[in-house]
Amino acid sequence: MKRLLASVAFISLAACGASSSPSVPGGMLPVGDASASPGKYVKHIVILIQENRSFDNFFATFPGADGATCGKIGTGECIPLKKVPLYSSTFPNYVHSNFVTDYDDGKMDGFAKSSAKFVYQYVDPAQIAPYWTLAKQYVLADHVFMTQGSASYTAHQDLIRGGTRLDANRTIVDVPSDGSGGAWGCDAPVGTTVPYLTNAGGFVQAGPYPCFGPGYATLRDTLDAKNVSWKYYSPGKIGSNFDANIWNAFDSIKAVRRGSEWGTKVVWPSTQLVFRDIRNGKLPAVSWVVPDACNSDHPGDFASECGGARDTGPSWVASVVNAIGKSQYWDSTAVIVVWDDWGGFYDHVQPPQIDSQAEVGGPGFRVPMIVVSAYAHRGVVSHHVYGFGSIVRFVEDTFGLPSLNTTDAISRDFASDAFDFTRKPRSFTPISSKYSQSFFEHQAPSGLPVDTE
């Protein structure tokens, strides 16, 4: 099942909201088009990675967005999407086999077969108000597709390299086999394997050990080669409790895990250190920031360990954005807020059509993406088709890096859609939120996994 992010025109026409927000029309740029040069204005890129929400789950009713009010099931019926709180004690299934079931050969009606009808829902906008405020003030992209229809392990790899293809016939998918709460990279127990898909669509459960060497290049390689600074802000440290590092993408990169960048460029705890670096004028050129489990949008996990119903995720994002907005970095920074996978929740838009250049097993379903910058368009919904490769490409285009030749090479550039560099940078308006920056700075790291798949 190979589908593309670049050379076909796939635009959903099923918009279901009022049209009060400006829109950027859909469409695709030809491969290799680079109509914007953001590097003159953008000196810092911060990628805030949230967890496990489809676009419809968070923005089904957002004005001007391609949302939905009902969802298809296998009988052909369209059942109303139910408004629900952010916190849920249960969560759907969302590994690759669930994606295939949900997708149902493009009919997008198999979600209840993977989990249950509770996945036909959308979160009460009042409970995720900071996200809606950001979307109303900046750019909300409503056709961002995961690189693969898979779980969070590969999604976090995709956000540092644009894909998980190992060689001509193997593309990593799902999660490593160790289910004991151990690390899922180079610290995984001996005998741990990670599944892969073949080019013919075959699924192999027992693949390689999840610690990848030369030939599996990431943005770390190209950033280092040009002496461009970077940090990966991880929620926890490798130690006796590995849990917090399940979502440390660079734990699977041997040169980083076994080298001097571990603990210097891959740092922890994420929240406290990113605030410190912003305050002290030490924000690197490129940052990935992963929340503590207690601030993740992942449903169903760790309510008791985190002090009750977990509703801090939107405030955590707002606090990081506010810290940047009030700092010396505002005029030179682009913040990309993105959710790593669909989490099993319903989404009505069929991923783009089949093409031989796409990552095997993808693209997956839509996830939200918000682009925040002093140069970002104000209150625009972009309907252009993007993937995680677009984020990788934005880093490459901004800092003049060579292509990794993963999905970055076939993904649409969003700089020309999201920014207007012809006008002066606008001043920052703080984002209101339930929890303050001080709350997060004084919050003890939980040591829990951000996700469980």
DSSP letters spanning 166-177: EETTEEE-S--S
Kindly state the tokens that stand for 92. Answer: 């759907």
Give the integer Cα–Cα distance in Å for 214 and 115.
39
Higher pLDDT, 43 or 444: 43
Q: What is the pLDDT of residue 27?
A: 41
Phi-psi region of 350 (alpha: psi -120 to 50; beta: other; left: phi over 0): beta
H/E element, 333: strand 333-339
Q: What is the pLDDT of residue 45?
A: 98
Angstrom distances, CA of residue 288 to CA of 177, 307, 327, 420 = 25, 26, 18, 24
Nearest to 5 by CA among 23, 25, 31, 41: 31
Which residue has 């139910």 as its token pair?
A: 82
Higher pLDDT, 452 or 66: 66
197 three-state secondary structure: strand
Q: What is the pLDDT of residue 24?
A: 53
Q: What is the pLDDT of residue 298?
A: 85
Burial category of 91 from C-beta neighbours within 10 Å (exposed 0-12, middle 13-18, buried 19 and up) = buried
Give the integer Cα–Cα distance in Å for 112 and 317.
30
In the Cβ-directed half-sphere of 86, how many Cα atoms lie within 13 Å? 23
Q: What is the CATH number of domain 38-151+213-441?
A: 3.40.720.10
Split at pLDDT 50, 70, 90, the class of 5 is very low
Higher pLDDT, 63 or 306: 63
Residues 180, 421: contact at Cβ < 8 Å?
no
Q: What is the pLDDT of residue 187?
A: 86
Residues 156, 163: contact at Cβ < 8 Å?
no
Higher pLDDT, 28 or 269: 269
Q: What is the pLDDT of residue 177?
A: 86
Split at pLDDT 50, 70, 90, the class of 10 is very low
Least confident piece of the model among 114-118, 189-193, 300-304, 313-317? 300-304
Q: Is the pLDDT of residue 334 over 50?
A: yes
Q: What is the pLDDT of residue 244?
A: 45
Residues 38, 421: contact at Cβ < 8 Å?
yes
Kindly state the average pLDDT of the residues 395-411: 95
Which of 286-308 are b and which e, b meaning 16 or more Cβ less than 10 Å from the residue's Cβ? Answer: bbbbbbbbbbbbbbebbeeebee
Most confident of 228-242, 306-320, 336-350: 336-350
Residue type, 388: F
Reported pTM: 0.92
Domain ranges of the chain: 38-151+213-441
Q: How far out from the chain centre does Cα 237 lie?
A: 22
Q: Which residues contact 216 (CB under 8 A, 6 or more apart)?
A: 161, 166, 253
123 three-state secondary structure: strand
Kindly state the average pLDDT of the residues 25-39: 49
Give the integer Cα–Cα distance in Å for 387 and 340.
11
Q: What is the pLDDT of residue 11?
A: 32
Split at pLDDT 50, 70, 90, the class of 13 is very low
Mean pLDDT of the chain: 87
